[in-house]
């Protein structure tokens, strides 16, 4: 029976909703994602399975965890009750507008044992959150004794030519940074081009025929990383999300204890055979590929988006819809 091995490093996504809709978001989060915030019962169940899988610590992310401060504090308490350490909480700092309240929030977190934040700062986030807010939150962390790291500090220098108190459109960023800032930023990050970032690869990548993709060394081997536990996530509904290959999900308890054979055919085909076999499977169900794709993982995304309409339980239909929203392109090529 397929299952993960020891759980090494993971994160709990307490929501999919976010005030932002960044163009590189691997989890396709946005203001229109539904599902609310993680429930206490779900959090308890997740913690129990994570312990069974041998995990020692996790981080908390989203979505934007600070959209529900009480919910965040509940999640922190549940981790503590389960004996799981919290490495850090991720945030885009949108809530640092009012300093007094932000300071109180930091103190409330510290009182529950939160010791560090990962604060997002880069040109993609700057389209949605004024980059002065991550800096303000960093200053408040300094004042209150909360540790933090800016992810990534290296982007501060190029952003500093822009006004810090407002968000900036793609056009403004292209004018003041460089026209290639999107591909450069993606490259600097080394991001996986899944989720909403499929659009980045489609705008900037070079396209190949299927024969070239599968005959030319692109990925056509079994996708064994689907059960990797080096940087996995568990979402607000208790699903295991493989590192990198978002839009695929399995109930965490099944991923850890054993995945019933035949229950998740799309997952099984990818895990055991790879994307070319998935193309064959989808072809038999009416999927007609485009002539060219930038990579086999990009093709895999589009096949899964197609199959998600059929209701395969391992495919999150919302993920595919939200991945294809919110990516602005220059007007001339729209």
Q: Which residues of 241-253 are buried (b: 16+ CB within 10 A; e: fewer)?
A: bbbbbbbbbbbbb
Cis peptide bond N-terminal to 152, omega within 30: yes
Looking at 107-189, which runs of residues are DSSP E strands?
116-120, 147-151
- With respect to ligand SF4, which residue has the nearer C-beta, 96 or 245? 245
- With respect to ligand SF4, which residue has the nearer C-beta, 51 or 154? 154
- d(C-alpha 9, C-alpha 253), whole Å: 16
- Closest contact distance (angstroms) between CB of 83 and ligand SF4 is 27
- With respect to ligand SF4, which residue has the nearer C-beta, 176 or 219? 219
Of 245, 235, 314, nearest to 10 by C-alpha is 235
Find the farthest-apart pair of alpha carbons in the chain and give their distance in angstroms, rounded.
60
Instruction: Please report the DSSP string for 99-116 in residue order.
Output: HHHHHHHHHHHHHTT--E
- Closest contact distance (angstroms) between CB of 237 and ligand SF4 is 16
Please check whether residue 200 is in contact with residue 216, taking contact to mean a CB–CB distance below 8 angstroms: no
- Token digits for 212? 């070239």
- With respect to ligand SF4, which residue has the nearer C-beta, 114 or 233? 233
- d(C-alpha 203, C-alpha 50), whole Å: 38
Of 87, 80, 38, 89, nearest to 58 by C-alpha is 87
- Closest contact distance (angstroms) between CB of 12 and ligand SF4 is 13
- Closest contact distance (angstroms) between CB of 51 and ligand SF4 is 26
**Residues engaged in binding ligand SF4 (CB under 6 A):** 18, 20-22, 25, 27, 29, 62-64, 92, 120, 125, 194, 219, 223, 226, 245, 270, 275, 296-297, 300
Q: Please state, in angstroms and as integers, the Cα–Cα distance from residue 121 to each residue in 64, 153, 155, 187, 208, following that order.
A: 14, 7, 7, 15, 33
- With respect to ligand SF4, which residue has the nearer C-beta, 252 or 278? 278
- With respect to ligand SF4, which residue has the nearer C-beta, 83 or 133? 133
- With respect to ligand SF4, which residue has the nearer C-beta, 95 or 114? 95
- Closest contact distance (angstroms) between CB of 30 and ligand SF4 is 6
- Closest contact distance (angstroms) between CB of 227 and ligand SF4 is 11
- Closest contact distance (angstroms) between CB of 246 and ligand SF4 is 9
């Amino acid at each position: 029976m397929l299952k993960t091995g020891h759980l090494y490093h993971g994160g709990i996504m307490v929501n999919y909703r976010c005030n932002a809709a960044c163009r590189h978001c691997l989890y396709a989060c946005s203001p229109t994602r539904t599902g609310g915030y993680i429930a206490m019962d779900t959090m308890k169940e997740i913690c129990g399975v994570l312990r069974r899988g041998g995990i020692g610590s996790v981080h908390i992310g989203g979505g934007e965890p600070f959209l529900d401060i009480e919910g965040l504090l509940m999640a922190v308490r549940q981790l503590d009750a389960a004996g799981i350490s919290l490495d850090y909480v991720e945030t885009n700092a949108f809530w640092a507008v009012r300093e007094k309240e932000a300071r109180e929030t930091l103190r409330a977190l510290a009182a529950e044992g939160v010791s560090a934040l990962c604060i997002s700062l880069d040109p993609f986030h700057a389209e949605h959150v004024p980059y002065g807010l991550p800096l303000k939150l960093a200053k408040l962390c300094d004042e209150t004794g909360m540790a933090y790291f800016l992810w990534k500090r290296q982007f501060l220098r190029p952003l500093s030519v822009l006004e810090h108190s407002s968000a900036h459109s793609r056009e403004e960023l292209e004018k003041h940074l460089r026209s290639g800032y999107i591909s450069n930023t993606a490259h600097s990050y080394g991001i996986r081009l899944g989720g909403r970032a499929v659009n980045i690869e489609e705008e900037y990548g070079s396209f190949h025929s299927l024969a070239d993709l599968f005959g030319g060394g692109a990925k056509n081997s079994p996708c064994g990383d689907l059960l990797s536990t080096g940087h996995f996530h568990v979402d607000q509904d208790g699903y295991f999300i493989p590192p990198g290959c978002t839009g695929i999900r399995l109930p965490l308890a099944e991923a850890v204890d054993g995945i019933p054979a035949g229950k998740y055919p799309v997952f099984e085909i990818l895990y055991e055979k790879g994307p070319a076999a998935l193309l064959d499977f989808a072809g038999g169900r009416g999927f007609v590929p485009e002539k060219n794709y930038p990579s086999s993982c990009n093709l895999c995304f589009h096949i899964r988006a197609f199959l998600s309409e059929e209701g395969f339980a391992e495919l999150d239909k919302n993920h595919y819809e939200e991945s294809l929203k919110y990516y602005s392109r220059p007007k001339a090529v729209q």
